[in-house]
């Protein structure tokens, strides 16, 4: 109890400190918020919101019976109904995988153990973001976007296999009815509106956090320290971009594109940052999965291995085709 109280006091003190910093430089941090809202409104909202609605309708209206792909995924990853969740999450991108896992859990179509396994391969970015936003718009290379997409798909498949665990006897579940009180479309739109606003909120917080850490010389100091240890001071801007990307992947890839390193290196780093997702995606996923009591350390480990696999897969492809 005392530890919890001390932890709360520390968090409250930290939040008050953040408020003071914001008040001391309101113009700069208001711009950070606007930049974050711009990314959310023009890059994520047009793509994510329609998919949030459509996938919610698909999940609620679909049959609990498994198709042939679900059976294949069950043999591969020991999870039910995971094929549909994987392909829908891949189509939509972050944080759709976590949201769909939560929806399936609420409908009693998977249990808690299956949800944890599924998160290791269903937490993926979407092709529109990887190819269109990162490849074409940010890096200026359609080929780089395709390589990032292929590497992320392959990495998610392998990552799921790593965390599938032993095959266990899964007890039958009494499926909840898909029918809901009121209009199904209204419920789906309302649920999706809440979800997309929450995503926007986390992006704003992430952008503010990055700029505060830069202004307080924390991120810049850490980047300098890493460069000194590894003797790579000429790549300071790349290291700083990576640190920003670990917090918010879109911000990291945007800053990475402005560095002087070649397209091969940019593609490899961007691929790893997207596979990891960053603190922003992690917090978004965690908010959707709050009912499942997910182990945070396991979630972080899953994303770290996925990022490492993605980098290892991207390296040979980028060296050959770029």
Q: Which tens digit of pLDDT belongs to each residue from 101-118? A: 988 888 888 888 899 999
CA 84 – CA 62 distance, rounded (Å): 10
Is the Cα dihedral 114, 115, 117, 118 positive or negative? positive
Do 256 and 137 meet the contact criterion of CB atoms below 8 Å apart? no
Mean pLDDT of 137-143: 92
Mean pLDDT of 178-182: 49
Above 80 in pLDDT, residue 7? Answer: no
pLDDT, greater one: 167 or 292:
292
Average pLDDT score over residue span 264-271: 97
Pick from 285, 290, 317, 314: nearest CA to 302: 285
- Averaged pLDDT for residues 152-176: 78
Query: Does any domain span residue 223?
Result: yes
The structure's pTM equals 0.86
**194: domain range?**
27-166+181-321
Q: Within a domain: residue 109?
A: yes
Average pLDDT over the chain, rounded to an integer: 85
- Do the domain assignments include residue 21? no
Average pLDDT value for residue range 220-243: 92
9 vs 309: which has the higher pLDDT: 309
Q: How many domains does the chain have?
A: 1
Side-chain half-sphere of 74: how many Cα atoms within 13 Å? 13
Task: Answer for the pair 134, 145: CB distance below 8 angstroms, yes or no.
Answer: yes
183-187, 251-255, 294-298, range with the lowest pLDDT: 183-187
The pLDDT value recorded for residue 173 is 55
Residue 175 lies in a domain: no
Bond prior to 75 in cis (omega within 30° of 0) = no
C-alpha gyration radius of the chain: 20
In a domain, 3, yes or no: no
* Lowest-pLDDT choice from 123-137, 146-160, 177-191, 270-284: 177-191
For residue 62, the model assigns a pLDDT of 66
């Amino acid at each position: 109890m005392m530890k919890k109280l001390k932890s709360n006091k520390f968090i409250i003190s930290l939040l008050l400190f953040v408020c003071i910093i914001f008040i001391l430089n309101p113009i700069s941090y208001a711009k950070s918020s606007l930049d974050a809202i711009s990314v959310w409104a023009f890059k994520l909202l047009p793509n994510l919101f329609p998919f949030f609605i459509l996938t919610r309708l698909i999940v609620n209206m679909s049959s609990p019976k498994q198709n042939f792909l679900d059976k294949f995924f069950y043999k591969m990853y020991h999870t039910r109904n995971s094929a549909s969740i994987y392909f829908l999450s891949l189509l939509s991108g972050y944080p759709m995988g976590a949201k769909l896992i939560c929806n399936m859990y609420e409908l009693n179509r998977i249990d808690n153990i299956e949800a944890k396994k599924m998160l290791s391969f269903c937490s993926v970015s979407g092709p529109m973001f990887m190819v269109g936003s990162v490849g074409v718009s940010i890096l200026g290379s359609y080929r780089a976007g395709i390589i990032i997409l292929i590497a992320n798909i392959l990495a998610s498949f392998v990552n799921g296999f790593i965390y599938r665990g032993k095959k266990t006897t899964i007890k039958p579940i009494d499926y909840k009815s898909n029918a809901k009180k009121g209009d199904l479309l209204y419920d789906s739109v309302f649920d999706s509106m809440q979800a997309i606003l929450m995503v926007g909120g986390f992006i704003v917080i992430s952008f503010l956090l990055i700029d505060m850490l830069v202004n307080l010389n924390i991120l810049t100091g850490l980047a300098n320290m890493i460069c000194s240890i590894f003797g790579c001071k000429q790549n300071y801007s790349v290291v700083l971009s990576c640190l920003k990307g670990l917090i918010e992947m879109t911000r990291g890839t945007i800053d990475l594109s402005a560095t002087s390193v070649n397209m091969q290196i940019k593609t490899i780093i961007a691929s790893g940052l997207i596979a990891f997702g960053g603190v922003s995606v992690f917090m978004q996923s965690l908010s959707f999965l709050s009912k499942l009591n997910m182990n945070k350390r396991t979630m972080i480990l899953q994303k770290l291995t996925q990022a490492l696999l993605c980098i290892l897969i991207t390296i040979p492809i980028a060296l050959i085709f770029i």
